[in-house]
Amino acid sequence: MNTPLILPDVALAPLLPIAITLLGAIAATLLGFFLPRRAITLISMVSLVLSGVSMVTLWNGGLTSFGGSLQADNVALSIGLIILLGSLMTLLVTYDSAARAKLAFPEFDAMLMYAVTGTLLIAFSGDLVTMLIGLEVMSLSGYVIATLQDSRRAEEAGMKYFLLGAVGSAILIYGIALVYGATGTLSYVGIRDATAGLQVQNVGLLVVGALLLLCGFGFKVALAPFHQWTPDVYGGAPTSVGLFLSTVVKVAAFAGMLRVFGGAMQNVPAWAGVLQVLIVATIVVGNLGALFQTNFKRLMAYSAVAHTGFLALALLGNPATGGPALTYYLLVYTLMTAGTLAVVSALQRTEAAFTLDDMRGLFYRHPAYAVALAVCLGSLAGLPPFAGFMGKYLAFQAAFQAGYVGLTIIAAMGSVAALIYYLRPAMLMFMPDRTPAREYPGERTPTTAAVVIGVVGVTVLGILPNLAYGLVANPAIWTVLAGR
Amino acid sequence: MESVPTSYYIALSGILFALGMIGVLTRRTAIMVFLSVELMLNAANLSLVAFARAWGDLVGQTAVFIVMTLAAAEVAIGLAIIVAIFRKRETTNVDDLASLKG
Amino acid sequence: MIHFFIFLPVLASLLIFLVPVRWREEFAGAAAGLTLAGGLWSWSVGGLSAYSINWIPALGVTYSVQMDGVSLLLGIVTAFMTLIAIIYAGKRIPNPGTMLSLILMMETGLLGIYAARDLVLFYVFFEDALIPALLMLAIYGKAHRMAALIKFAAYTLFGSLLMLISIIGVKYYGGSPTFALADLQAHPVTGTVQTWLFLGFLAAMAVKLPLFPMHAWLPDFHAQNHDSGVADVMGTLYKVGAYGLFRFGVILFPDAMLELRPILMALAAFTALYAAWIAFSQTDWKRLLAYAGLSHMGLVGLGIFSMNETAMIGALFLLAFQNVYTGALFLAAGMLQERVGSLSTKVGGIMTQAGALSGLTMTLWFASIAVPGLAGFIGEFSILLGAYQVSPWLAFLAGLSTIAAAAYALTAYQTTYWQVRPAGAVLAHDLRDLDWLILGAPVAVAIFFGIYSGPALALVQPVVRAWMNGLGGGV
Amino acid sequence: MALYWLPLLPLIGFLLLIVGGRWFSGTSGGWLGSGFIGAAFVVALVRFFGLSDVPAHETLWTWLPNMALGTGGVSANLNVGFYLDQLSSVMTLVITGVGFLIHVYSISYMREDARFTRFFALLNFFVAMMLILVLADSYPLMFVGWEGVGMASYLLIGFWFAGHKDHNAADGVNNSNAARKAFIMNRIGDLGFMLGMFLIYKVFGTLVIPELAGQEGTLAVTSRPLIELICLFLLVGAVGKSGQLPLTTWLPDAMAGPTPVSALIHAATMVTAGVYLIARSNFFYDLAPGASMWVAWAGGLTALYGALSALNQTDIKKILAYSTVSQLGYMFLAVGLHSYTAAIFHLVTHAFFKALLFLAAGAVIHALHEEQDVRKMGGLAKSMPFTHIVSLIGVLAISGIPIFAGFFSKDGILASAFAQNIPLYLIGLFVAFLTAFYMGRWYFLVWRGEYRGDTKLHPHDGDAVLSAPLGILAALATVGGFLNVPSFLGGGHVLDNFLGRAIPVHEHEILASTEWLATLIAVAVALAGLGWAFYEHRRRALQVGPLGQFSFQALYLDRLYTAVVGNGSKVISRGLDTVDNGVDGAMNGIVSNVGAPGWLVTIWQSGFVRAYALSMLLGTALIVGYWALKAIGGGL
């Protein structure tokens, strides 16, 4: 080994957004002993905002670090911003609901911030190891916050999440190992180059590795049949945790999938075919399962599963159309899911159940919340003028243009089923009802702020989609997902 | 130097992984389930090193360290969760955790 | 101006909540009146010309609107009936702020549908109108409204999502740079693909036409809506399938429409007769009106599908004016319910007590069953005449619906308004103040355009003729 | 005076009376309505005298798309336009003239009615529509009048929709049903009319009558079956409106309306629209011998049907109603034989004497306080001498007794039938015999013998307003025949010659002696019929006419229709309603079946974490295994 020692390419600038959130996490961990919990939350929020600012300054920079292991390209930045947005909304919701949810430990904020750090790492990743680290940091923190509430439900949820997550991680790691075996590299660019034209010696190994990766990611984003943890965890964990898991974590996992499958593995056969089957299964299972739910939180969990199917649809498309579609949809999905769950969080009296029956006549008790919830649900159902429509449309278009016509039609039919279960609660709210208010009566301004962000977001982005889509529409940034 | 072919390692790792899977499915105790998962991780580690040797590349080996670290972290968190549950329920049988369903 | 025309109502629908409660009716009325005035003004200047800017440049989605010809006619009718509905809602529904807001919101959706010259924009407006319609049903509906509502929404979305896929496909396969109609027209899709895309598009339009067997949402939708019939007016206006087929179907999928013409015409003719016949055994005015409207829509569909110039003119004419009298009939049913507390067709003897109500209702019914000299006739006659040129037997089949129409309308009318008022029944008072306007204005419109159809024809005929010539001298 | 004044005047009257009903107290509304008709009559007269050989054709405004001929092969829009030739001029005179008389009569007749003004509004509306019908220059515009009169007829038959004084439930139902039946049966005919128009348009590209009539070249080369079909379609329309077989049953029921309505609409004017339509379409029928034969036979059979049904009716108006059916049959017979002028002549005379008979019947009903059963009348000649005399004139006229109007007109029809189709002639002759009998029966039952009704009543002639129209009509029924005296009787065919300038007159070459013979036979038959009636009267056996229930039930035709068509369509309607629920249910079923696996999803979601792990790992194994198998099988 006579290779001269080469100093690692450590550019700090691209690291900045992640470092800031990490600092926030550490601060939360340490200061938790001295400051009240709300102060910690504020500090976390500030660090999120700062991280966001740093991302904005990095925009169009295309910087990389660690020899390409970390890349702050526009893909990473746009997804990173979505993650920050989701996290911010989570923090806003927890700011006043955490106490009610028996979650008001500084550790909660700390773990949340660690998770955010992990998610950002996934988005910024340039090789499989970085991605894996991010994924594990995110998952491990996720297990903790899912369990943190001192209740049997949360514990059960956490346990399930943890055990299944560990299995999923194991599958994923094994997949990484096989891909490494087939290509001899762990970096996205390397894999992409090695697989170009399928010159790899052991295609079988590569395909199996890719499929195992798909299964591992399938768990993280909740594709059927790897989705089964979702309803139990989202439904069992506190609402704010469910909010975080179903938005930020899912966004990050999709970012990983985008990097790995849209970038590194774009030439590898087989995974697209399998993904198609999984998407169909996901759409069917998610939508049908949701039809039979009476607990609104579980309903939203199944809805998250169903949306996974729609989101993955964009992944099937060519990266040039699928990438921006996925990003836009992720943003919208984050806004509307977070908005919905924020309303739930604001109104629920207990964490256990917010049933459809509770929603009857909500409009006459809390008109603003009801309208906000209706907007979010309408958006989830894909009704214009709300942004959910644009997301769905983009996903359909991406899949359609990649030739998956049949799949698009199935997805469209799934949307019809989706409409039914979104519509039922949405319309129940407007049906006159004379029972007295059952909602939590206290102060909840920050949660309301999160709701406002969600509602305004889906409305504005629905009417003027170009505000967000225009930023990511440039196909050039999506053809080099793996890095240069 | 006569060396063991890479495929042997891979076969062994595959067997270990399968054993881990079977363990996950058959054991009821959370701890045992968890240990089976560790077995799966180690199967992955084994193939990583094997491949690293085959490619003559160090990246795979470093990856193994990272995976081991992750596994350790996972153990920490997992045990904490298990303990928390055991304290409340006095059981680690995962089949007792089935109130969230449907 | 065109944006003012389209978006004034939705603006008002939001601002209305800032207006003190007791002024809301006046405010909504003023907004609707202004919109109508805008429409009439546009008419007087010969329509509002096209306006187009990029909406989502990266996707080729444009905001292209135009208000002339057929669009303008339908837009004005919409504005007119909305105004009528608002006047009645303000009078009839206690604390009507929400209802008024929803009506105005829906008006914008409908006007947008007519103005849109971009497929995605069309889709957006098409779905936009759905939301207030659902809310009206949810807030003001009757006991079984949830089922009706889900059914309505599911049918609509089932069709429109398939349409969405077609929309994506039309641009993709045609290679058009944008979704604007003009661009799509310049980059046509041909062959089998066109047929498949048309089928997707048709799914949405068949639901909204509605065409058998996609009509099942309609009776429940009307039966479950508020007794006043205000929401039904808007629901009637929302039956825009024929317009969509005319505006986009004929242009983008001419070969497919020709290819499927026999099947589609048969379905439409069957719908017309089938619905009319079913209406005969209805005993609830709203269900009866629902089926009557369905029957009319079958005729409209027949006209569009026949791809014959005269029939198509007739179809659009009928589409426009059936809104007036069907809508007004819903309101008349609402007035009946207001007076006797029932929507049954067996009430009996209303005319002995409320002559004007009964007389105006009867006039509307005569318009509805296409008695010549009233607006319904011009449409139905032209449709049947045109359809006969293409397929005599189907025209005959659809023509049978005119007999059935007389049967159901007069039977129900007789048992409600004629015959003897049962002893001890409540006294039905006659029309009062604004009631006169609410029923009288539609009657006046139905009579005026039935006799002097020139102005409306001038809006419809040139457009249709130009397109038919574009198809190769008509078919 | 422009032609549009003709329909416009009554329309103004209609609008004034319907909108401002409450402004007119007492009988002022009636006088106003009558005034408008009178004015229209004046216009009609002015235009009549202004007629030249070139028909007047005045177009107003655009109405229907693409239904006229334009220049250069592009179709033009159809205009609303009026067309006046000798045929329509005669019709306008009859409509406004007879209409005016009936209006005036109604002022007295309807005086007590609560909805007096509305009655006149509707009458005015009817006249307006009828004028549009006869003046229309295009088939669609004629259709406006066509359905317009149907609508007016509906409203007037159902004028007493709630029974006497709004409080007679059974009557209300009957009257309403009768009105509805009239409208619906007319609609059946109207569909035929429409189909006829569609076919005309398909063949000729226009629906404007002068344009069509002017297309002799095209007409001559058009394939015969098409023209036959057009004529058959139009026949369906005509049959519906004129109450011919098979669409006849509404007409007797239509007598549920007030008597002036029966006189004006269901005797004198509207029901003759079918005859007018065929006469107007003579350029088609002349080329369609087959369809014309259908027309003639429809007429002949209806004449027989009506006569047979009239034999044993007991309602004073029903007898007249069936008689109308029968007389309309004569007219159809005539137009079917292309004797258009004979048909129009009979139309005119029939308008006079049938209106007269109805109005006289109305006077009787009035005098007897709504009693309509002839079995409860009798001997009224003493108490109502004036009405008796005019009735007698009417009976003589309709029976075809010389010098009265019906003699000449019926003779013309029989003569042309004699010349062309002996079976139809024989039917016509037999019907003439029956006519004389049942009218004789009507006369004797009402006017002669002993009074059999409620003795508390003191019937008397009506007032001057009521009687004046009767007198005028009686005069017309007496002398109207001289309009068209045939040449063998020394006449000059005045009406034939006049109409001949507009519609073709087909001369039949019959020897004068033969014609004399035919005429004598006809008169003999009529006298025989009257004589039989008189004989039965003397036997006091008239109350039960011949044929018993068979006649009374109008050959059971109505019952047949109710059983088959009426109930049938109701059954089908309910069936379809069920089907529609089925469609709805099927859709719901599909949805719920598609949704049913949703339960499986929830069952799958068992809550056991190891089951979840099983799904995951099994899924992984399946995915990988499938590809492994595939790779082993055939490589990638």
Contact between A339 and A376 under an 8 Å Cβ cutoff? The reply is yes
Any chains having at least 3 CB pairs less than 8 A from chain D are A, B, C
Contacts of A186 in chain B (CB under 8 A): 59-60, 63
Residues of B in contact with A157 (CB under 8 A): 100
Residues of A in contact with B24 (CB under 8 A): 163, 167
Residue to mutate among C291, C306, C374, C419, with most D CBs inside 10 A, is: C419
Distance CA D323, CA D327 (A): 6
Query: What residue has token string 């390397």?
Result: A190
The minimum CA-CA distance between D597 and chain A, rounded to whole Å, is: 7
Residue C365 is assigned to a structural domain of this protein:
yes
Interface confidence (ipTM) of the complex: 0.90
Mean pLDDT of chain D: 87
Beta strand D75-84 pairing with D56-69: antiparallel
Q: Which residues are within 8 A (CB) of D187 and not within 5 positions of it... i.e. 6 or more apart?
A: C402, C403, C406, D150, D240
Flag if D180 and C410 touch (Cβ within 8 Å): yes
Q: How confident is the model at residue D377 (pLDDT cuts 50, 70, 90)?
A: confident
What pLDDT band is residue D252 in, cutting at 50, 70 and 90? confident
HSE at residue A67, side-chain half, CA atoms within 13 A, is 7
Closest-CA residue of D relative to C218 is: D584
B87 lies within 8 A of chain A by CB: no
List Cα–Cα distances, A193 to A63, A76, A208, A266, in angstroms.
Answer: 20, 21, 18, 10
pLDDT in tens, C307-357: 988 999 999 999 999 999 999 999 999 999 999 988 888 888 888 888 899
Provide the 8-state DSSP code for D82.
Answer: E
Nearest to C403 among D151, D167, D191 (CB): D191
Give the three-state DSSP class for A431. Answer: coil
* B81 contact A CB<8A: yes
User: Which one of A167, A211, A229 has the shortest CB-CB distance to D627?
Assistant: A211
**Calpha distance C377→D215 (Å, rounded):** 28
Contact (CB<8Å) B28/D617: no
Q: D81: buried, middle or exposed (CB in 10 Å: 19+, 13-18, 0-12)?
A: buried
Mean pLDDT to the nearest integer, D495-504: 84
How many helical (H) and strand (E) elements, i.e. helices and strands, does chain D have? 28, 2
Q: Which domain holds residue C376?
A: 260-475
What's the token pair of residue C256?
């497919």
- What is the full per-residue pLDDT of chain A (484 aa) written as tens digits? 466 667 666 788 888 999 999 999 999 999 988 888 889 999 999 999 999 999 999 998 888 888 888 999 999 999 999 999 999 999 999 988 888 888 888 888 999 999 999 999 999 999 999 999 999 999 999 999 999 888 888 888 999 999 999 999 999 999 999 999 888 889 999 898 888 876 656 788 888 999 999 999 999 999 988 999 999 999 889 999 999 999 999 999 999 999 999 888 888 888 888 999 999 999 999 998 898 888 899 999 999 999 999 999 999 888 888 999 999 999 999 999 999 999 999 988 887 778 888 888 889 888 999 999 999 999 999 998 899 999 999 999 999 999 999 999 999 999 988 888 999 899 999 988 877 777 888 778 899 999 999 999 999 999 999 889 988 888 888 888 877 7
In which domain, by residue range, is D72 found? 5-552
- Flag if D608 and B100 touch (Cβ within 8 Å): no
Nearest neighbour of C419 by CB, restricted to D80, D162, D572 = D162
Element (H, E) at D68: strand D56-69
Q: Which amino acid type is present at position C284?
A: D
State yes or no: pLDDT of C115 exceeds 60.
yes
More confident residue, A150 or D178: D178
Q: How many domains does chain C have?
A: 1
Based on the fold, state whether residues D524 and D622 are members of the same structural domain. no
DSSP string for residues in D300-368:
HHHHHHHHHHHTT--BHHHHHHHHHHHHHHHHHHHHHTT-HHHHHHHHHHHHHHHHHHHHHHHHHHHHT
Q: State pLDDT tens for residues D255-276.
A: 888 999 988 888 888 888 999 9
The answer to whether residue C63 is domain-embedded is: no
Give the position of tokens 């439900």: A153
Choose the mutation target among A172, A271, A288 for the interface with D, i.e. most D CBs under 10 Å.
A288
CB contact under 8 A, C406 and D172: no
Q: What pLDDT score was predicted for residue D23?
A: 84
Cβ-based contacts under 8 A for chains A and C: 96
Distance from CA of C189 to the nearest CA of D (A): 30
Distance CA A324, CA A78 (A): 10
Inter-chain residue contact D606 with B101, CB threshold 8 Å: yes
Q: Do A162 and B73 touch (CB under 8 A)?
A: no
Going by pLDDT thresholds of 50, 70 and 90, the confidence category of residue D597 is confident
Structure-token pair, residue D135: 């003046």
Over chain C, what is the mean pLDDT?
90
pLDDT in tens, D401-440: 888 888 888 888 888 888 888 899 999 999 999 999 999 9
Whether D602 sits inside 8 A of B21 (CB atoms) is no
In terms of CA atoms, which chain D residue is nearest residue B94?
A: D609
CA distances from D460 to A194, A422, C472, D471 (A): 119, 80, 76, 16
Chains C and B touch (3+ CB pairs under 8 A): no
- For residue C151, tell me if it sits in a domain: no
| Rounded percentage of chain C residues whose pLDDT exceeds 70 | 99
Chain D residues with CB under 8 Å of C278 CB are: 573, 576-577, 580
Which of A157, A171, A292 is the closest to B100 by Cβ?
A157
Which of D600, D603, D606, D610 to mutate to test binding with chain B, by most B CBs within 10 Å of its CB?
A: D610
Indicate whether D201 and D337 sit together in one domain: yes
What's the pLDDT band for D145 if we cut at 50, 70, 90? Answer: very high
Q: In angstroms, rounded to a whole number, what is the distance separating the alpha carbons of residues A213 and A207?
A: 10
List chains touching A (3+ CB pairs under 8 A): B, C, D
Phi-psi category of residue D408: left, alpha or beta, with phi > 0 → left and psi -120 to 50 → alpha: alpha
At D72 the pLDDT is 67
Nearest CA-CA partner of C246 in C169, C292, C311: C311
Residue C475 is predicted with a pLDDT of 39
- Asked if residues C398 and C273 have their Cβ atoms less than 8 Å apart, the reply is yes
- Cβ atoms within 10 Å, residue D492: 11
Instruction: Report the candidate in C58, C196, C203 with the shortest Cα–Cα distance to residue C123.
Output: C203
Q: Is the pTM of this model over 0.95?
A: no
Q: Is D380 in contact with D446 (CB distance < 8 Å)?
A: yes
**Whole-number pLDDT of residue A200:** 58
Least CA distance to B74: which residue of chain A? A140
Alpha-helical regions (H) of A59-151: 74-100, 106-124, 128-147
Q: Are residues D381 and D451 in the same domain?
A: yes
pLDDT tens string D612-634: 989 999 999 898 888 888 777 66
For residues D539 and D615, membership in a common domain is answered with: no
Dist. CA C467–CA C304, nearest whole Å: 13
Q: Pick the last residue of a domain from D518, D552, D586.
A: D552
**How many other CB atoms are there within 10 angstroms of residue C383's CB atom?**
35
Q: Is there a contact between A466 and C58 if contact means CB atoms under 8 Å apart?
A: yes
Residues 6+ apart with CB under 8 A from C18: none
Q: Provide the β-strand partners of residue D410.
A: none
Torsion of CA A449, A452, A453, A456, to 10 degrees: -160
**A3 touching B (Cβ < 8 Å):** no
pLDDT at D370 over 90: no
Q: Are residues D540 and D628 in the same domain?
A: no
Structural domain contains residue C50? no
Work out how many CB contacts closer than 8 A connect A with B: 126
Question: Which residue does chain A place closest to C60, by CA atoms?
Answer: A466
- Note whether D173 contacts C: Cβ–Cβ < 8 A: yes
Compare D610 and A197 and report the one with higher pLDDT: D610
Backbone angles phi, psi at A274, to 5 degrees: -65, -40
- The answer to whether the beta carbons of residues D209 and D139 sit under 8 Å apart is yes
Q: Is the pLDDT of residue D162 over 50?
A: yes
C-alpha to C-alpha distance for D121 and D10, rounded to whole angstroms = 9
Of the partner residues A382, A427, A470, the one whose CB lies closest to the CB of residue C146: A427
Handedness of CA A161, A167, A169, A172 (dihedral sign): negative
Q: Which of residues 179-208 of A touch B (CB under 8 A)?
A: 180-181, 184-186
Instruction: Test D609 with B97 for CB contact under 8 angstroms.
Output: yes
Question: Which has the higher per-residue pLDDT, D595 or D48?
Answer: D48
CB atoms within 10 A of CB A268: 25
Asked if residue C230 has pLDDT above 50, the reply is yes
Angle at CA of residue A293, ends D581 and B98, nearest 5°: 140
Residue D635 in this model has a pLDDT that exceeds 80 = no
- Please give the structure tokens belonging to residue D297: 């036979």
C430–D contact, CB cutoff 8 A = no
Question: Could you give the number of structural domains in chain D?
Answer: 2
What pLDDT band is residue D516 in, cutting at 50, 70 and 90?
A: confident
Residue of D590, D604, D605 for testing the chain A interface, max A β-carbons within 10 Å: D605
pLDDT at site C48: 86
Residue of B nearest to D598 (CA): B102
pLDDT of residue B2: 62
Domain-located, residue C249: no
Kindly report the three-state secondary structure assignment for every residue of chain C: CHHHHHHHHHHHHHHHHHCCHHHHHHHHHHHHHHHHHHHHHHHHCCCEEEEEEEEEHHHCEEEEEEECHHHHHHHHHHHHHHHHHHHHHHHHCCCCHHHHHHHHHHHHHHHHHHHECEHHHHHHHHHHCHHHHHHHHHHHCCCCHHHHHHHHHHHHHHHHHHHHHHHHHHHHHHCCCCCEHHHHHHCCCCHHHHHHHHHHHHHHHHHHCCCCCCCCHHHHHHHHCCCCCHHHHHHHHCCCHHHHHHHHHHHHCHHHHHHHHHHHHHHHHHHHHHHHHHHCCCCEHHHHHHHHHHHHHHHHHHHHHCCCHHHHHHHHHHHHHHHHHHHHHHHHHHHHHHHHCCCECCCCCHHHHCHHHHHHHHHHHHHHCCCCCCHHHHHHHHHHHHHHHHCHHHHHHHHHHHHHHHHHHHHHHHHHHCCCCCCCCCCCCCCCCHHHHHHHHHHHHHHHHHHCCHHHHHHHHHHHHHHHHHCCCCC
Residues D610, B94: C-beta atoms closer than 8 Å: yes
Which backbone phi and psi does C344 adopt, to 5 degrees? Answer: -65, 150
